[in-house]
């Protein structure tokens, strides 16, 4: 997995409207880039709703949120509509970006091992440098950890 201080790998992926979105589109902004396993699952819904509910706080800290999963743009559009999400979701059906960021991992459930997305969040600064990595994220605590870190970034940049 990538670590603090690494240059964030570039990507171009379709969003929920099937429009191409690139990492370079976010240069000049702080980006909260989070990877999650699947639309409409309980943990992923909780995490997305938390980000949506905290979006004003995130924006006040000069950051934007973008979620990435291997779900299709149509699934993302439906997920956004059902939950009234306030941010962009990107589709990585070929797993290229998911693998670039090192979040495609062995997971275990009910004694079986399988490959899947390890819920992870990256905070990327205005120049495209990774400032923080949160791995094996708890969906109910992710927003709080991100806001704490963004506040620290805000206070050190003054």
Would you please indicate which residues are annotated as catalytic (active-site) residues? 44
Nearest CA to 95 among 11, 21, 3, 4?
A: 11
Neighbours of 67 (CB within 10 A): 25
C-alpha separations of 108 from 2, 22, 55, 57, 145 in Å: 22, 32, 32, 34, 25
Neighbours of 146 (CB within 10 A): 25
Nearest CA to 57 among 157, 146, 124?
A: 146
Q: DSSP for 81-136, please give it.
A: HHHT--SEEEE-TT-HHHHHTT-EEEEEETTEEEEEEPPEEEEE-TTSBEEEEE-S
């Amino acid at each position: 997995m990538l670590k603090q201080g690494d240059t964030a790998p570039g990507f171009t992926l379709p969003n929920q409207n099937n429009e191409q979105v690139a990492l370079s589109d976010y240069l000049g902004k702080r980006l909260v880039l989070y990877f999650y396993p699947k639309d409409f699952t309980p943990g992923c819904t909780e995490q997305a709703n938390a980000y949506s509910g905290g979006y004003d706080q995130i924006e006040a800290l000069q950051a934007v949120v973008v979620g990435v999963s291997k779900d299709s743009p149509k699934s993302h559009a439906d997920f956004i509509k059902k939950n009234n999400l306030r941010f962009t979701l990107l589709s990585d059906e070929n797993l290229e970006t998911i693998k670039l960021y090192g979040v495609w991992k062995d997971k275990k459930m009910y004694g079986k091992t399988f490959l899947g997305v390890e819920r992870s969040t990256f905070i990327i600064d205005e120049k495209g440098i990774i400032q923080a990595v949160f791995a094996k994220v708890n969906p109910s605590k992710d927003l709080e950890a991100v806001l704490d870190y963004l506040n620290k970034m805000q206070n050190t940049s003054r």
